[in-house]
Every structure is written in C-alpha cells, then in structure tokens.
Chains A and B, each alone.
Chain A
Amino acid sequence: MADFLMPALGADMETGTVVQWLVQPGARVKPGDVVAVVETHKGAIDVECFLDGVIGELAPVGTSLRVGAVLARVVGANEPGPSIPSVTPAVQIGAAVAPPVVTRAPAAMPAAVVSDAGPAVLAAGSRRARVSPAARRRAQVLGLQADALRGTGPDGVVTLADVERAAAHSPSMAVPVAAPPRAKPGGFDAAQMRQAIAAAMSRSKREIPHYYLAESIDIAAAQAWLDAWNRDRPPPDRLLSAVLLLKATALALREVPQLNGFYESGQFRPGDGIHIGWAIALRGGGLVAPAIHHADQKTLPELMTALRDLVQRARAGGLRSSELTDPTITVSSLGDRGAESVWGVIYPPQVAIVGFGRVLPQPRVVDGQVLPRPVVNASLAADHRASDGHLGGQLLVAIHRWLQSPETL
C-alpha cells in the first residue's frame, strides 16, 4: 500500500487541481503511466504515476490540493491487501472519495484539501491564495480575474463583496458567462504563472550565489553545415540552429557533469542523465522549461522532433509531469529576434543555466585576417555552492569546441 502524492512540478508549484482521472479504482498501473490531468499554473499537465500496483481510492476532481497531498492510494502488485479490483464498484469521477475500502483511514487526504471549508488550511501557510474561495468561484462565474482585484478583507484578501463590487462597476463583465469557468484545456493563468515565476526566481536570487561567465562563439561552421543539411530537404525535415546549440550543450555536459544536477540538502546530487530543460516562452506571457530527456543521446533530427513536440505541448497543454520535474539544467536560447546575450537565473534546485543570444555578424580574426563571421554569445550562470568558475569555463569551452565540428553533433 502506498500513497500517490500530488507532485511538485517544479520549485514554483504549491497547489494543483485534478481535472480528470484517466484511471478508475481497480486499474493496474505501472511507473510512467499517465493517470491524471492536473491543472497548474503551467497549464494542464499529464501526471504520471511512479508506483506499481492497483489504484485504490482517488482524490476528488476539481479540488485544489497542496503539493504532497494524497492523490490516490495504490495497492502494491504483490500485496495481499484488500481486493479492491474485483469487489469495489468504480468510484464515480467527480464524486467525493468513497467510504474507505481500506482499513487505514485516509488521514492525509482531507487534511490537505484546500477548500472553502478549510480556512485553517489556508492560514497554515498558503501564500498564493489571497482570494477567498467563494470570491474565486464567483469571479470565475462572472468571468473576472479574481487575482487582479483589490481586496478589502483581512490582510487584503479579495472577498465575495469585492468581486460583486467589481462586477457592478464593469457592466460588460457582469453578465454571467456561459462558458465553463476553467480556461480552455491546457490554457494557463498568466497572472498565476507570473506569481509562480516570481516566487521561484526570488528564491533563486535569495539562496543561490550565482557566478556568471560568457564566451562568444563563431558559428560559421555550424551554420554552413545547417544550410547544407536544410538545402535539399522539405520544410518538415529541416533543422533549426537551436538544436545544434542544444546538442552541443548536452555533449559538453558529459564532460562537465558537475553542472548537471541538483543542489539539495547542502550538497550536489548529479542528474541521472542529461535532461535539458528547454526554456519556452508562452504566447501571452510566461515561461516553462520542460525536459528533453537524454538530450546527449539523441540525433539532431530526433532533437528537432522532440523540440517541436515540446513547444507545441507547452503552449497547447499536455506536458507530462516528468518533463517538469526531471530537468537537470536549463538552456535558454533567445532565438533570431532576441537580445544578443542573456544572463540566466538558475531554476532551483538546478545548479546551472546556459543562455544563447541572437546570432550577430561580428568582425573576427581568422587566420590573421579580420573577417565578418556569425557569432553567438553563450553564457553560463552557475551555483557557487556546487562549482567554481574554473569548472564553468570548461563547460563553455566544450560547447564552443563542439560547435566547431557540427558534423560530430
């Protein structure tokens, strides 16, 4: 018997809401199976289970749960346990958790539920919700952004009265909207995401002693290789320069594994693979950096496919929980319309972030002559608790070297 908990999908997540269960009690699950869709500030995420066994009771749909709250009970595959599968009728999705069919009381489940019945829970450390649940619900019905309203309640909490007042003052919005209160599937709440980014980045700047290094890299060879690759291929098979930067970074990290992993409990823990969190700007504002797993082992076309898929799902919904929890480092590439350099803020508990600016034509000395060359500025921000600039420099130099021989990427 084990508990499947609401995962922390990144350092910036405090709560999530199950919007759909994809399994029923009695279903057999294996690690990696997608069992639920959870709405977070990063949109709707497909949550994977990491337990092996049979699903018992499920947390109710539509309720905000704190990270670490019990989402489901899972009876181990080889446990004698109660025979839930055969005798218990499936609990209906959306219904409250059925009377416990197991002997142990589901103590953690109700305790962690954040609902309007639980002001005590809110008081116990929720920094996010400065909107009363009733106000939030009413605002959703009215199509108002509760977080954006001025609160007159205790400690500035937005109350039901505040929502009603706002509705009265904006007649166009006062008409109840027929649409369901939730944003479109996969959509994310920009204000909520901004708050979450603010919390994670504040923590990073407060706790992580960043050091910064930069290297300007002549990428004429990489660009010539890319042009030749793309020349005779139809558009769907073409590559973007971003995948070369991604692969070069992944291969460089093999040589400098001390920058690939996490700083936790006062020490560095290396990643179990090179899972690059690729920073994706979302239309309408916001940012998410889901993992491309084992980026060092993928070919360039495979990376291109992975990147395309990831961007698509980051924007439309359908990122998987492992993609949000697994990144061992972040790469932020500003692209051809971005600034010429970027100084990243480390996403905790990672220990480094690599940035690439826009490619610019620059005068460079090549074989004793000054020539115009395409140059990209690569930067590294790393955690001084886990490494020093000497090591960080080795990473940038390795990236530089890999980009000089693109045919080996």
Chain B
Amino acid sequence: MNPADIRQLATDVLAGIAPEADLSTVAEHEDLRETLDLDSMDFLNFIIGLSQGSGVPIPESDYPRLFTLQGLVAYLSR
C-alpha cells in the first residue's frame, strides 16, 4: 500500500470507532490514542481494521509503532 492508501484506510477505520474524530487535524508525530481519546478497546479495534484492510498481521509487540500517524504509515508501507 502507498502512504495515501494507508491514510485513507486509517481514516475509514477511525470513522467507525470515533465518528467525531478528524484525522486531518492530527499531527504526524502525535499519539493517536491521546489526541483522539482512544481507549484500549478502541485501539484494538483500530488495529483489527488496519490489519484486515492491509493484510499485515500486526503482532501485539508492534503496537507501539502504530501509536502515531507517521509510525503507522511507515509500518504498513513496508
């Protein structure tokens, strides 16, 4: 996936979890969990959506690499 696709995927997944959240207002290096007030269930659902949309399994030990927009784009575009 290219970065634009990944951003679109993240936006789509988030829309189902936090409908009022606007990813375009989130800075690249900000912790999404804090900025968008995601709890652990929200974040797991976010991971599920990203994993299903990208085909990447995303082991739990890699979660910290997906805390920011910058991180998740880098991680999923490998």
Give chain B nearest CB distance to A29 CB in angstroms: 34
A337-B34 in contact (CB<8A): yes
A234-B51 in contact (CB<8A): yes
Instruction: Type the 1/0 row for B22-49, where 1 means its CB is closer than 8 Å to any CB of A.
Output: 0000000000011001011100110110
**Known pairs A283-B18, A283-B20, A284-B20; A234 contacts B57 (CB<8 A):** yes
Q: Which residue of the partner chain, among A235, A240, A337, contacts B51 with CB atoms under 8 Å?
A: A235
Give the distance in Å from the alpha carbon of A281 to the alpha carbon of B40 in the complex. Answer: 12
Give the distance in Å from the alpha carbon of A236 to the alpha carbon of B52 in the complex. Answer: 9
Interface residues of B, dominant DSSP: helix
Give the distance in Å from the alpha carbon of A241 to the alpha carbon of B41 in the complex. Answer: 10
Instruction: Type the 1/0 row for A306-343, where 1 means its CB is closer than 8 Å to any CB of B.
Output: 01100100000000000000000000000111000000
B44: A residues at CB distance < 8 A: 235, 238, 240
Q: Which residue of the partner chain, among A227, A284, A335, contacts B60 with CB atoms under 8 Å?
A: A227
Instruction: Type the 1/0 row for A139-155, where 1 means its CB is closer than 8 Å to any CB of B.
Output: 00000000000000000
Interface centre among A227, A231, A236 (most CB of B within 10 A): A236
Give chain A nearest CB distance to B12 CB in angstroms: 16
Interface centre among B20, B41, B48 (most CB of A within 10 A): B41
A230-B40 in contact (CB<8A): no
- Assess whether A242 is interfacial by the CB under 8 Å rule: yes
Give chain A nearest CB distance to B23 CB in angstroms: 15
Enumerate B62-77 residues with CB–CB distance to A below 8 Å.
none
Q: Which residue of the partner chain, among A238, A281, A284, contacts B39 with CB atoms under 8 Å?
A: A281
Give the distance in Å from the alpha carbon of A283 to the alpha carbon of B58 in the complex. Answer: 26
Chain A's closest residue to B34 (CB) is A337
A231: B residues at CB distance < 8 A: 59-61
Give the distance in Å from the alpha carbon of A235 to the alpha carbon of B37 in the complex. Answer: 20
Give chain B nearest CB distance to A371 CB in angstroms: 21
B39: A residues at CB distance < 8 A: 281, 335-337
Give the distance in Å from the alpha carbon of A284 to the alpha carbon of B19 in the complex. Answer: 11
A227: B residues at CB distance < 8 A: 60
Interface centre among B47, B48, B52 (most CB of A within 10 A): B48
Q: Which residue of the partner chain, among B20, B40, B45, B59, contacts A336 with CB atoms under 8 Å?
A: B40
A234: B residues at CB distance < 8 A: 51, 57
B57: A residues at CB distance < 8 A: 234-235
A230-B41 in contact (CB<8A): no
Enumerate A185-207 residues with CB–CB distance to B below 8 Å.
none
A238-B41 in contact (CB<8A): no
Instruction: Type the 1/0 row for A279-304, where 1 means its CB is closer than 8 Å to any CB of B.
Output: 00101100000000000000000000
A242: B residues at CB distance < 8 A: 40-41
Chain B's closest residue to A336 (CB) is B40
Q: Which residue of the partner chain, among B20, B33, B47, contacts A235 with CB atoms under 8 Å?
A: B47
A sample of 18 more A-B contacts (CB under 8 A), given A242-B41, A337-B34, is A231-B59, A231-B60, A231-B61, A234-B57, A235-B52, A235-B58, A238-B60, A240-B41, A281-B39, A283-B18, A283-B20, A283-B37, A308-B41, A308-B45, A311-B41, A335-B39, A335-B40, A337-B33
Instruction: Rank and list the top 10 A-B pairs by shortest CB-CB distance, nearest first.
Output: A235-B48, A230-B60, A235-B51, A335-B39, A235-B47, A335-B40, A336-B40, A236-B48, A311-B41, A240-B40
- Please list 9 pairs of residues, one from A and one from B, whose beta carbons are closer than 8 Å in the complex, sorted by A's number: A227-B60, A235-B47, A236-B48, A238-B44, A283-B20, A335-B39, A336-B39, A337-B34, A337-B40
Q: Give the interface of A toward B (CB within 8 A).
A: 227, 230-231, 234-236, 238, 240-242, 281, 283-284, 307-308, 311, 335-337
